[in-house]
Amino acid sequence: MSSHRLSILLALLVVGSTIGAAAVVPGTSVAQQQSGEVIGQPDISFSTASGSVSAGTAAELDVAILNRGRIDKGGPSQHEATVTTARGMTMTFDDSNVPIDVRTGQVTIGQVPRGSMQRTVPITIAETADPGTYKIPIEYEYQFTRLVEYDPYGTDYGEFTRERTGSITIEVTEDARFEVVETNATAQIGDRSDVSLTLRNVGTQPAADASVVAESRSSALTFESGAASSNAFVGEWRPGETRTINYTVSLASDAARRGYTLDLSVNYEDTDGIAATSEPMTAGVTTLAEQSFAFEDVSSSLRVGEDGEIEGTVRNTGPQTADSVIVQYADDSSAVIPVEESVAVGSLGPGEAASFSLPIEVSSESEAGAKSIGFAVSYRNQNGDRRAYDKLDVTADVAPERDQFDVSLDNATIESGGSRTLSVAVTNNLDETASDVEARLFADDPLDTGTTDTGYVQSIEPGETVTVTFELTASASATPEKTYPISFDFRYDDADGNSQISNTVRVPVDVVEAEEGGLPIPLILGAILGLVVIAAVVRYRRQ
């Protein structure tokens, strides 16, 4: 290397303001058409255009890096670009003496040519930060080429490493700030619930026309009309004041039992009338299991063609007290008809139970056997709103159809051509008292009912047997040793006072021969009288 080049390098070492390793790197580029040297260096500075921040908030800080690139001796543009470019640049923020936390370590920038670029770093401003301007030092380091010397035979470079300290300025302003200080937010799955959130203005400035926006992060938790968010107007909000905001939320019946998150923000106007939005906040909503009920000890007395009852116990298996509990029939079967649609059992605390009995009619078209019958439980929740739990089915056994009354005859025979009085034993097979019972006898030729074909009984208790008499006649055409049917039906009032007609009950009657032989009774009486007279005459003559 010539003494001229050495002199230049020594001069650069003196002029350069950095302590670093300098090297002259022989170039290997294609020979140039002229000789010369280019001298320059990067010129780095920092600024931020993020505006002001408020105490107690977090923000993303945009840091602008400006490289003005100083040229001390110019030349070809590619060599000027070389000497003005910072390479492998890194920077570190020194926030040890300011109430601002720059939440990043060393930031790698890389190559910085002439011009500007931007990097974003997260910061948090302490709640105790006083309003004012804060300077944050930035320690940065990079490599650069101070000298490019070129001639037709090659290019030499003078390389250096530089460490410097710059700074940025951040303004912390007075403002309204908000935080959640209390929550009363418990929602029940499958129901609507009221939740309340209490917020305080912890800033130094009032907020005008403030409104609190709550937004759910889950589709399972919604606000009024199924909306994902709800806006509550608050109005003027002075520093230190608290406001309690109430929302009505709904949790879907298939929602998972876990905590849910609400995102909160406050929209307001600052003291200059400029619209502003607070830093985001969150609040948690805890959940209760769905209100539920269970049936226990269920029994039934159902029978085809009759009224019966389904009896059992309803238990509150949910987490909250249910008021005004009603057990309801909730089936749409045409064969099973509720005599009463529902029965009230009162209020039930968690785990409490009460008995119920619901009268049910089974039509005569129904079939016997086990039947699944839908039931529901209606109740009032903690807010007094009427709710229904319809996940209940009852399996009830339906007995086969039977005659309401059993009929038996003390003597089921009649002579051909004769007539007689029938004593009929009538038994009440129902599970209720039958009142105003009118029994009627029916017979077809060659049998006839005669003049007494009806009988009346004031009442017959369940299982009780009474005797009713009827007249029955058999014509001379009735064939002996042949059986003919007679039938009975009964009109009666049930336990509810409703008039009913029973099934027809058929009973066999056997026709027998009329009895023959023997003397007529008048002849017998005359013979006896004659014998008495003869005996008297004989006795008289002996005397």
Q: Please give the angle made by the CA atoms of 205, 207 and 210, to the nearest 5 degrees.
A: 160
Structural domains in the chain, sorted by start? 3-173 (2.60.40.10), 178-288 (2.60.40.10), 293-399 (2.60.40.10), 405-512 (2.60.40.10)
Q: What is the 3-state secondary structure (H, E, C) of 56-106?
A: CCEEEEEEEEEECCEEEECCCHHHHHHHHCEEEEEEEECCCCCCEEECCCC
Distance CA 392, CA 394 (A): 7
What confidence score (pLDDT) does residue 198 get? 98
Distance CA 194, CA 210 (A): 22
For residue 165, give the 3-state DSSP assignment.
strand
CA 477 to the chain's CA centroid:
79
Q: Please, which residues have CB within 8 angstroms of residue 223's CB and are 6 or more apart in sequence?
A: 214, 216, 229, 230, 247, 248, 249, 250
Amino acid at 117: M
Neighbours of 304 (CB within 10 A): 19
> 162: which 2 tokens?
């530089």
Query: pTM, whole model, 2 decimals?
Result: 0.60
Helix (H) or strand (E) holding 504: none
Per-residue pLDDT 10s for the chain (543 aa) are: 444 443 444 344 333 443 343 444 444 444 444 899 999 999 999 999 777 888 888 889 999 999 999 999 999 999 999 999 999 999 999 999 999 999 988 999 999 999 999 999 999 999 888 889 999 999 999 999 999 999 999 999 999 999 999 999 999 988 888 999 999 999 999 999 999 999 999 988 999 999 999 999 999 999 988 999 999 999 999 999 999 999 999 999 999 999 999 999 999 999 889 899 998 999 999 999 999 999 999 999 898 888 889 999 999 999 999 999 999 999 888 889 898 999 999 999 999 999 999 999 898 888 888 989 999 999 999 889 999 998 888 888 999 988 889 999 988 999 999 999 989 999 999 888 999 999 999 999 999 987 788 999 999 999 999 999 999 999 998 889 899 999 999 999 988 888 989 889 999 999 999 876 444 434 444 545 556 545 554 455 554
> 131: which 2 tokens?
């309003």
* Cα four-point dihedral sign 91, 96, 99, 105: positive
> Is it true that the peptide bond before 446 is cis, omega within 30 degrees of 0?
yes
Instruction: Specify burial of residue 239 (Cβ count, 10 A radius: 0-12, 13-18, 19+).
Output: middle
What confidence score (pLDDT) does residue 534 get? 58
What confidence score (pLDDT) does residue 277 get? 92
Q: Please give the angle made by the CA atoms of 260, 266 and 269, to the nearest 5 degrees.
A: 170
